[in-house]
Amino acid sequence: MIWPKKYSLNEINEFNKNCLVDHLEIQISAIDSSGLEATMPVKTFNQQPFGLLHGGASCSLAETLGSIAANLVLLGQDQVAVGQSLTANYLKPATNGIVTGRTEPIHIGKKSQVWSIEIKDENERLLSNFTLTVAIIPHLTL
Q: Is 103 exposed, middle or buried (0-12, 13-18, 19+ CB in 10 A)?
A: buried
How far is 71 from 77, CA to CA, in rounded Å?
Answer: 10
Q: Is 88 exposed, middle or buried (0-12, 13-18, 19+ CB in 10 A)?
A: middle
Q: Identify whether 118 is a catalytic site residue.
A: no
How far is 81 from 69, CA to CA, in rounded Å?
Answer: 9
Candidates 37, 63, 118, 124; catalytic one = 63
Question: Which positions are annotated as active-site residues?
Answer: 63
